[in-house]
Amino acid sequence: MQAFLRWAGGKVHHTKRLITYLPKDLNEYTYWEPFLGGGSIFFAISPSKAILSDSNSHLIDCYQMVRDSPDRVAFYLKKLIEKTTEVAYYKVREDYNKSPKSIKQAARFIYLNKTSYNGIFRVNSSGFYNVPFGKKEKPTFPSLETLRSVSALLKRAKLNVYSYEKILMNVKKRDFIYLDPPYPPLNGTSFFTHYTKERFGKDDQINVSAIANQMSRLGCRVMISNADIPLIHNLYKGWNISTLPVTRWITCKSFRHKVNELVITNY
């Protein structure tokens, strides 16, 4: 099953390659993903027991509504996609920024995700979604059947809004943790760090590595995706590090570039 949301740094195009790095006995233990994003790995492997979390409350709110009310989310989404013009986009964005959590808000989230520029989720310092309309892209929206399938899978998992640090108090020996934090900029301006209003910087990368090492000492299996830069290599000395060639947007400008990402494991 593929992820139904677009997400900056998402793994939908190289999920099959990443799966080859996973432990073989994954379903015997709890699967943790504290930087959930689009959830490509989770949806692809459908683990029997999962705890999913993200600091982005907008994202988790959407997942919760799809899990609990897929038919109603699809109903409101259908009404929104009758118009996918630039004018309609900015009206939905305006409504989104002044509305509380609801089923309608989940439909707006999906609509904006599919019609925005590059599928980026970016908020300003006040926490307001501010991504422009994606003029050159033809949106593809999830069907009712897709949302029902997503709902069925999410009902097997726990969804939480909190920072990745919190999982350290609950993981157990042999659990599997997949860490896919927002990447450091490869070149120029990176939207990957504009994921929440608090941003995600170098100190956060250092903290992620410290927590990964603590979980490793607890006997957890840990896999990390990150950028192929000296900082990340230095933070994970002693771990198994593999390179994965991918194609990414690496600046805020409209061009793609082939780069290497890292797959880092302690097993």
The domain limits of the chain are 15-55+162-265
Residues paired with residue 177 on neighbouring β-strands, in sequence order: 32, 222
- Torsion sign over Cα 57, 5, 244, 215: positive
Q: In this structure, what token pair is assigned to residue 186?
A: 């490869």
The CA R_g of the chain, rounded to the nearest whole Å, is 18
Q: pLDDT tens digit string along 197-222?
A: 456 888 999 999 999 999 999 999 99
CA–CA gap between residue 194 and residue 121 (Å, rounded)? 8
What integer pLDDT is reported at residue 193 of this predicted model? 46
What integer pLDDT is reported at residue 138 of this predicted model? 82
Q: pLDDT tens digit string along 121-142?
A: 988 888 899 999 998 778 999 9
**Rounded to the nearest 10 degrees, what angle do helices 103-115 and 70-80 cross at?**
50
Block residue for tokens 């069907």: 143
User: Strands of 221-227's sheet, edge to edge?
Assistant: 157-161, 50-54, 31-33, 176-179, 221-227, 256-265, 240-249
Q: What is the DSSP letter of 124?
A: -
Which helix (H) or strand (E) segment holds residue 54: the answer is strand 50-54
pLDDT: is 184 or 77 the higher one?
Answer: 77
CA–CA gap between residue 209 and residue 230 (Å, rounded)? 14
- Torsion sign over Cα 266, 38, 51, 182: positive
What integer pLDDT is reported at residue 256 of this predicted model? 65
Contact partners, residue 97, CB within 8 Å, separation at least 6: 128, 129
Contact partners, residue 168, CB within 8 Å, separation at least 6: 211, 214, 215
pTM of this prediction?
Answer: 0.90
> How is domain 15-55+162-265 classified at the CATH fold level?
Rossmann fold (3.40.50)
What integer pLDDT is reported at residue 198 of this predicted model? 52
Concatenating the DSSP letter of every residue in 196-255 gives STT---HHHHHHHHHHHHHHHHTT-EEEEEEE-SHHHHHHTTTSEEEEEEEEEE-SSSS-
Residue 61, pLDDT > 80, answer: yes
Q: pLDDT tens digit string along 240-266?
A: 999 999 876 545 555 567 889 999 999
The length of the chain is 267
